[in-house]
Structure 1
């Protein structure tokens, strides 16, 4: 069958899903309540369900009263027991797959349950809806005349008694339907190679002669692959290698620090960037408009959402609210109840709503990734906005960064230190620092108040990182590739000092 016909058929099937999406757009609260009741009914016979009287819960208020808020630490013993025994502790069915996650902020590994229902009704559904929403907005797209270049994590999957664990990428690709595997490049044995440096070369060699029409992966790592493609081919930009490239589906980290890099690599006014918000715990939101950084919260994936106002955040002792009570432009910690047995689970991300009806969001940071050493309440969203403005004013490009407080000493005010690796150095570093400071004042009133008259905070200072400092730090920690990320903001000096001392 000719490729254009295949493209048309697949596109038609995907767009049919748009009618179901329109249902939760019209009835968001009813759909969410239905999700909750299904989850409770499904797991009422589990040990957790019996302990918390799932079968008697008929309302959200009752759900709040009977089921506690949890984080990974408070749920870890039950997850470990479920992994080792295969018993229905948290979810109705035996769960075979667990996504191992450690990240750069915690040496202790997490094992996130990934049930069959979560794979099919959440992760796969999210992947299909990502394509659906793009094609609905771009009816002339020809994605399926070529292949998607995917950038996964490690293929290492380990057996542990009754379960298997590994990188989420490996779990998803192991379970991919045939049509998705056929339309992906490279083949999974290369996509999931464990040795990152070897994998980059293998991916480049396997894809430079393919007709790549879309990209999918974490921006920081995809950037390295694309730069290696140009080095390997000797071309000036990526469209000389893949002229039919249409869209980059990205997620995992904020895209703002990387956007200018991508515009140079892919010089096209018609090329699209589509953001997704997904994690080991589930697939949550997808950009549903061209040229937007807002994402539509997906309400029918077997996930029930709650939100904790960050100005009232007290961890598992917080009070959460349902979707019906959220307000625009307020920072919330995200709480999820999922079809993999996570019940009122504080995932650790913070979001804000940019609109309701439909419910669109932006990811603003992490509950632990902020600087509030002096009452300034600086979040990642503030940092990314301010850095972009400083770059625009001083003709700079940032490759990676992290920031941390410099604590008060005798007769010396506190400050923020920014450790920045520049792709293109600013015309004037002092002007860059001044612009960053002024931008933060304009964006964040708490920061502005603490900077007033240098009473609490003195001017920030920028330490320029040597080339590849962050990459080498991750390499030394055996955390290259996949979902591993640089800790952007931290409320103490744990990471900034470790990175600086790794030279």
Structure 2
């Protein structure tokens, strides 16, 4: 661990040299692929040539290549064989997207990120007793690749892909067993995890806050305990990621009433492991520069451009929003992951996740994007003969024992005769087109049915006018990960 801390300090000190060297290694590997031959990687000698020759890709642009790999073809995007795919939602043309996970990406990115997370934590807290007990990790599930069942390939949540491939030493220090951790029936899974782990010496938790809260609440219920330290007195840290933690902080404080409890954030996605909170008293994330990921950034005012220009790491400025573009050792080339970041420091490079390139709700890991919302509303309107004028939606966060949900405000031109039917259809359609939302809604485990307000005509006009936002260039924010807009409209209606 101490040796690795030295390596991290090295890339913090020489970030541009590390990224330059990594860039040339990626191009040399990529030259052996069909994608690399298409863009003649062998003749690319500089980052500028790479930018000029290879366009920025969305998932839809890379999907034809990914689909071929899923059907068993190899050497398409990356030279080594790819048999694992990380599944997530958020694409506009399909219910789920599938990100190739090569052996290089697993070992030099995801596993390395996990080891670095522990190394940084122990370096910050050398008195830690984390290794005297078990680490409880809540993962997803995996299944055989339905595109090509004979190809011996699989897909699943990125957490499941990582868990299934962990080395033996990592399996020994975690709980519960893989068989339970990778179950796909969440209700049964939470129940089994609770009964298996509640009498163990758990010293660390890792996972998405949403599912972690459900597990904690179930354990407290079974043990008839007031808080978690009565169950796990040696618990000291929660490694979390995937969704913003701020809305959950007060709830965790009530579940784990200990000032010394530590919370460490990570930025780990299907596409790669990008950042780790490396300072005790700051939630900024150190950008990890030696994980086989070459970074470029689109300035925020060019995000919607058909042919956006990108800048390299040495050109970014603090306090500005950028869309993140990555080229990786999993075969993603100049790929727009859809996240926006703000640099809080350039020596070393630290970031905060500022949002998505599109409106979205991802308070519980559901990743509902604007296309999902509009598709669901259109479907409900068609089925009920109604016509909408405007809408917005936001999360309702966990509070005490209350579960999370979404809250919609919809203004109709022509209202549905049966509002309950409309509400049910919207929720049902959203579950059909977004697998992550469906997983959270399964048996009301993490998300219960949405609240939907049907508001009078002219509501959004009055609201936009009150904010001095009338005009063609100003649009109603369809989705938001905060409650700012929903609260503002409801407050206006109640006055």
Q: Normalized against structure 1, the TM-score is what?
A: 0.74
- CA deviation profile, 1:226-260 (whole Å, cap 9, x unmatched): 11111111111111111111110000000011011
**Corresponding position of 1:420:** 396
**Corresponding position of 1:277:** 267
Offset at residue 87 of structure 1 (A): 2.3
For the structure 1 residues 493 and 147, does the alpha-carbon distance in structure 2 shift closer, same or farther, using more than 3 Å as the test?
A: closer
Partners of 1:118 and 1:255 lie apart in 2 by 26
Secondary structure of 1:478 counterpart? helix
- After TM superposition, the structure 1 = structure 2 runs for residues 271-420 of structure 1, keeping only pairs within 5 Å, are 271-314=261-304, 317-369=307-359, 418=394, 420=396
Q: 1:70 aligns with which of 39, 42, 57?
A: 57
Partners of 1:280 and 1:299 lie apart in 2 by 17
Partners of 1:481 and 1:149 lie apart in 2 by 24
Secondary structure of 2:55 counterpart? coil
For the structure 1 residues 492 and 83, does the alpha-carbon distance in structure 2 shift closer, same or farther, using more than 3 Å as the test?
A: same
Q: 2:230 aligns with which of 193, 217, 240?
A: 240
For the structure 1 residues 153 and 399, does the alpha-carbon distance in structure 2 shift closer, same or farther, using more than 3 Å as the test?
A: closer
Q: 1:225 aligns with which of 212, 215, 224?
A: 215
Partners of 1:367 and 1:59 lie apart in 2 by 28
Partners of 2:367 and 2:144 lie apart in 1 by 32
**Corresponding position of 2:132:** 145
**Corresponding position of 1:126:** 113
Partners of 2:57 and 2:365 lie apart in 1 by 36
**Corresponding position of 1:101:** 88
For the structure 1 residues 205 and 223, does the alpha-carbon distance in structure 2 shift closer, same or farther, using more than 3 Å as the test?
A: same
Offset at residue 417 of structure 1 (A): 6.0
Offset at residue 51 of structure 1 (A): 1.5
Partners of 1:323 and 1:476 lie apart in 2 by 32
Offset at residue 183 of structure 1 (A): 0.6
For the structure 1 residues 134 and 351, does the alpha-carbon distance in structure 2 shift closer, same or farther, using more than 3 Å as the test?
A: same
Offset at residue 269 of structure 1 (A): 1.3
Offset at residue 422 of structure 1 (A): 6.1
Do structure 1's residue 492 and structure 2's residue 478 form an aligned pair?
Answer: yes
Structure 2, unmatched stretches of 5+, are: 375-388, 402-422, 451-474, 483-495
- After TM superposition, the structure 1 = structure 2 runs for residues 3-42 of structure 1, keeping only pairs within 5 Å, are 14-42=1-29
For the structure 1 residues 246 and 104, does the alpha-carbon distance in structure 2 shift closer, same or farther, using more than 3 Å as the test?
A: farther
Secondary structure of 1:228 counterpart? helix
For the structure 1 residues 180 and 88, does the alpha-carbon distance in structure 2 shift closer, same or farther, using more than 3 Å as the test?
A: same
Secondary structure of 1:423 counterpart? coil
Offset at residue 400 of structure 1 (A): 11
- CA deviation profile, 1:98-132 (whole Å, cap 9, x unmatched): 11222598753211100000000000000000001
CA contact (8 A) 1:401 1:420 kept: no
Offset at residue 476 of structure 1 (A): 11
Offset at residue 213 of structure 1 (A): 0.5
Provide the aligned C-alpha RMSD in A: 3.6
For the structure 1 residues 481 and 326, does the alpha-carbon distance in structure 2 shift closer, same or farther, using more than 3 Å as the test?
A: farther
Secondary structure of 1:25 counterpart? helix
Secondary structure of 1:64 counterpart? helix
CA contact (8 A) 2:342 2:351 kept: yes
Structure 1, unmatched stretches of 5+, are: 1-13, 371-378, 385-397, 407-412, 426-465, 497-503
Q: Normalized against structure 2, the TM-score is what?
A: 0.75
Offset at residue 61 of structure 1 (A): 0.8
CA contact (8 A) 2:180 2:193 kept: yes
Secondary structure of 1:17 counterpart? helix
- CA deviation profile, 1:179-215 (whole Å, cap 9, x unmatched): 1101111111111111011111000001001110100
- CA deviation profile, 1:206-225 (whole Å, cap 9, x unmatched): 10011101000001111111
**How many positions carry a matched residue from both structures?**
409
Secondary structure of 1:317 counterpart? coil
Offset at residue 133 of structure 1 (A): 0.6
Secondary structure of 1:275 counterpart? strand
CA contact (8 A) 2:124 2:280 kept: yes
**Corresponding position of 1:116:** 103
Secondary structure of 1:135 counterpart? helix
Do structure 1's residue 92 and structure 2's residue 94 form an aligned pair?
Answer: no
- CA deviation profile, 1:402-455 (whole Å, cap 9, x unmatched): 99999xxxxxx9896656356269xxxxxxxxxxxxxxxxxxxxxxxxxxxxxx
For the structure 1 residues 348 and 402, does the alpha-carbon distance in structure 2 shift closer, same or farther, using more than 3 Å as the test?
A: closer
